[in-house]
């Protein structure tokens, strides 16, 4: 039986977190030897109370709670470090990716080192669509990523990814971006080490009550990918120290 760790980063999701956890636990029970790792990222609502109570009755669910906000990427990084299973997945707390779809990713990984769900590949199905502004921002960001890093993926930001644990162990200590651009940092480092990652279409549902605020996130993600591009450049050692400090200040978690 396959061993699977599912990481769920969570910030103020008291409205849906119990339903999400119940759905995943019910679906994967009997299919895999699995664990769910809930990463509570500076929550200020009842999420910690709900998760703690849930874990009391579900020994294959564990959690980490951080009093200070790490950012979505920062929470996932800590979850990656804690994951012990053969396969390591992470997905969003809002249920936009169903357990059935995550299961399909794990079953499709085969000889690949990692597999990504994609909302923008042929054959994908977006059951509840994002706003036009979000769709435009997503496509614009993906174009920027392709130009800067040469990554072939059509959807680096979809919250449904699975990797073999040896890949995670090889790159996790190098990851430095803790905001929503974390995925680019992860995929770039995996690709430069020669690992092979596949992208497949996915069924995905947008949560209209998402905590994501485009006005705040888009500038931070832009600065983050620019900073990452500079950091991985051969010219990095010659970048002025004051500019490095400025970049890191701007790349702080969201």
CATH of the domain at 155: 3.90.550.10
Q: Which of 143, 222, 134, 142 is nearest to 179 (CA)?
A: 222
Q: For residue 81, is it within any domain?
A: yes
pLDDT at position 254 is 47
99 in a domain, yes or no?
A: yes
Mean pLDDT (the chain) is: 86
pTM of the model: 0.85
* More confident of the two residues 113 and 228: 113
Q: Exposed, middle or buried, 62 (CB in 10 Å: 0-12/13-18/19+)?
A: middle
Residue 87 lies in a domain: yes
pLDDT at 128: 63
- Whether residue 225 is contained in a domain is answered as no
Within a domain: residue 202? yes
Q: For 129-156, write each residue's pLDDT tens digit.
A: 666 666 666 667 777 788 788 899 999 9
pLDDT single digits (tens) 181-212: 899 999 999 999 999 999 999 998 876 655 55
Residue 231 lies in a domain: no
Tell me: pLDDT of 216 over 70.
Answer: no
Least confident of 182-186, 224-228, 234-238: 234-238
172 found inside a domain: yes
> Residue 60 sits in which domain range?
3-211
Token pair of 13 as six digits: 């999701």
Domain count, the chain: 1
Q: What percent of the chain clears pLDDT 90, i.e. is strictly above it?
A: 62
Query: Looking at the domain assignment, is residue 29 inside a domain?
Result: yes
Classify burial at 229, counting beta carbons within 10 Å of its beta carbon; exposed 0-12, middle 13-18, buried 19 or more: middle
């Amino acid at each position: 039986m396959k061993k699977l760790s599912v990481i769920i980063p969570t910030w103020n999701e008291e409205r849906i977190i119990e339903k999400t956890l119940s759905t995943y636990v019910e679906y994967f029970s009997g299919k895999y030897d699995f664990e769910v790792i809930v990463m509570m990222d500076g929550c200020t609502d009842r999420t910690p109370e709900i998760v703690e109570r849930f874990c009391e009755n579900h020994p294959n669910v564990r959690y980490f709670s951080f009093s200070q906000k790490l950012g979505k990427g920062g929470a996932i990084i800590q979850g990656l470090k804690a994951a012990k299973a053969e396969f390591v997945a992470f997905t969003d707390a809002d249920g936009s990716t169903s357990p059935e779809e995550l299961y399909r990713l794990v079953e499709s990984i085969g000889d690949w080192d990692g597999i990504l769900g994609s909302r923008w590949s042929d054959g994908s199905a977006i059951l509840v669509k994002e706003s036009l502004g979000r769709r435009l921002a997503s496509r614009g960001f993906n174009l920027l990523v392709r130009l800067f890093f040469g990554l072939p993926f059509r959807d680096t930001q979809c919250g449904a990814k699975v990797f073999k644990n040896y890949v995670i162990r090889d790159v996790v200590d190098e990851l430095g971006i803790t905001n929503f651009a974390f995925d680019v940092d992860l995929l770039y480092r995996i690709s430069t080490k020669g690992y092979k990652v596949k992208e497949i279409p996915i069924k995905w549902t947008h949560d209209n009550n998402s905590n994501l605020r485009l006005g705040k996130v888009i500038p931070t993600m832009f600065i983050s990918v620019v900073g990452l591009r500079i950091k991985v450049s051969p010219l990095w050692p010659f970048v002025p120290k004051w500019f490095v400090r400025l970049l890191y200040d701007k790349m702080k978690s969201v």
